[in-house]
């Protein structure tokens, strides 16, 4: 359909002036998945769906991470790469979890509620952070279960003894030198953890949390917007450095190889970027501080204002007898919500 003209006889798009929403008579004119009206009329339900999805993903990811038996890897008893000692963890999980939740929460509350006093922005920041952590947990748990990997300290954790080797499955492979987890004398939960080296869970969830936080701070303060404030730069880079140090600590205490950590960083950062974009207008553009709530609210106000100020059906083009709007339909009435001017979003 020619979007510059609304043909009276075809009448494929009309405006319901009482309820102020667009009616699409032709399916091809509707945007994919949902249109302007669906999102406007179901805001609460869509947010509830988002949060319900986060909860479900967290539960599934937690089950994969903690309860599902990891796919075993074969190993030899003289492999030096998995013979490192078992050292105390530099950053154990019971310390990591409060860190990746409390630090972003405190900073987001300070910026969105105390400084900006913007509740919708706080909601989208928390939703994005929760989505980032949930999806990272799910993806990391899936990789651990279906791929797995031997930790550098696997043999010390496994602790195979003469009796456990005799009671376990016989060795396989060329030369009959490869054993499976059945020869371990340690508790099954410890062995399961020792077989789940790939990817690093510490690295992935830390990168997801602190990566999202870095994007949030960068967007709010426009770090690279020709201002040159070194303190703000240190805060943003500190998030990345913190995620990096926690990942490296897993190499130092012989829980992971560097490739395990690199894989975890990659998963966490990619998901953090994706989830930030789900909740804000862009990643690095001038409007990257604008939440989706503000974006759509501006679009709805913009659209309703145009509907109120323009009577499409009463404006006639005398030359061809067709109904023509006195404003550019492509840029206004049917304008994509992604094309609204930044000045309007900042009002």
16 in helix, strand or coil?
A: strand
CA pair distance 327, 118, nearest whole angstrom = 33
Q: Which residues pair with 172 in a beta bridge?
A: 178
Position 12 scores a pLDDT of 42
In the chain, which residues have pLDDT < 50? 1-24, 311-342, 344-345, 347
Position 39 scores a pLDDT of 65
**CB proximity list for 290: less than 8 A, separation 6 or greater:** 280, 281, 342, 345, 346
CA pair distance 347, 341, nearest whole angstrom = 11
- Which tokens go with 211? 């990566």
CB-based contact 119:47 (threshold 8 Å): no
Per domain, the residue ranges of the chain are: 13-39+299-345, 42-279
Rounded to two decimals, what is the model's pTM? 0.76
Q: By C-alpha distance, which of 184, 192, 178, 195 is closest to 159?
A: 184
Position 296 scores a pLDDT of 67
Position 332 scores a pLDDT of 42
Position 316 scores a pLDDT of 43
Question: Please, which contacts does 339-345 make with residues 24 or more away whose CB atoms are closer than 8 Å?
Answer: 340/295, 340/298, 340/299, 340/302, 342/286, 342/287, 342/290, 344/298, 344/302, 345/281, 345/287, 345/290, 345/294, 345/295, 345/298
Q: By C-alpha distance, which of 93, 42, 10, 122 is closest to 300?
A: 42
- CB-hemisphere CA count at 13 Å for 291? 17
Q: How far apart are the first and last CA of the chain?
A: 33
Total number of residues shown for the chain: 347
Position 326 scores a pLDDT of 37
Position 53 scores a pLDDT of 94
Position 47 scores a pLDDT of 84
CA pair distance 31, 284, nearest whole angstrom = 26
CB-based contact 95:82 (threshold 8 Å): no
Mark out the alpha helices in the chain (DSSP H runs): 36-41, 43-66, 93-108, 119-146, 154-158, 162-167, 188-194, 201-221, 230-252, 258-279, 292-309, 342-345
Position 11 scores a pLDDT of 43
Tell me how crowded residue 296 is: count the other CB atoms within 10 A of its CB.
Answer: 16
């Amino acid at each position: 359909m020619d979007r510059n003209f609304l043909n009276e006889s075809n009448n494929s798009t009309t405006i319901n002036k009482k309820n102020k929403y667009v009616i699409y008579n032709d399916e091809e004119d509707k945007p994919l998945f949902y249109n302007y009206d669906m999102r406007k009329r179901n805001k609460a339900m869509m947010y509830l769906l988002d949060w319900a999805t986060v909860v479900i993903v967290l539960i599934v990811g937690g089950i994969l991470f903690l309860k599902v038996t990891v796919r075993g890897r074969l190993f030899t008893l003289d492999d030096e790469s998995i013979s490192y000692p078992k050292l105390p963890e530099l950053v154990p999980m019971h310390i990591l979890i409060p860190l990746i939740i409390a630090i972003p929460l405190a900073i987001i509350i300070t910026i969105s509620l105390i400084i900006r006093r913007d509740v919708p922005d706080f909601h989208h920041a928390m939703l994005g952070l929760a989505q980032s952590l949930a999806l990272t947990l799910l993806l990391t748990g899936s990789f651990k279960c279906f791929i797995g990997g031997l930790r550098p300290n696997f043999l010390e954790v496994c602790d195979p003894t003469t009796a456990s080797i005799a009671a376990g499955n016989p060795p396989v492979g060329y030369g009959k030198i490869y054993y499976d987890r059945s020869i371990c004398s340690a508790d099954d939960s410890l062995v399961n953890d020792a077989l789940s080296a790939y990817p690093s869970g510490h690295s992935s969830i830390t990168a997801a949390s602190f990566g999202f936080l870095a994007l949030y701070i960068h967007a709010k303060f426009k770090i690279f917007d020709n201002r040159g404030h070194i303190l703000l730069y240190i805060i943003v880079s500190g998030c990345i450095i913190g995620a990096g140090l926690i990942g490296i600590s897993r190499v130092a205490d012989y829980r992971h190889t560097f490739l395990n950590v690199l894989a975890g960083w990659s998963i966490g950062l990619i998901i953090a970027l994706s989830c930030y974009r789900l909740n804000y207008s862009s990643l690095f553009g001038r409007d990257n501080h604008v939440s989706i709530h503000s974006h759509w609210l501006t679009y709805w106000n913009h659209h309703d204002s145009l509907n109120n100020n323009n009577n499409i059906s009463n404006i006639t083009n005398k030359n061809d007898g067709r109904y023509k709007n006195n404003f550019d339909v492509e840029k206004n009435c049917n304008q994509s919500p992604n094309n609204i001017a930044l000045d309007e979003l900042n009002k």
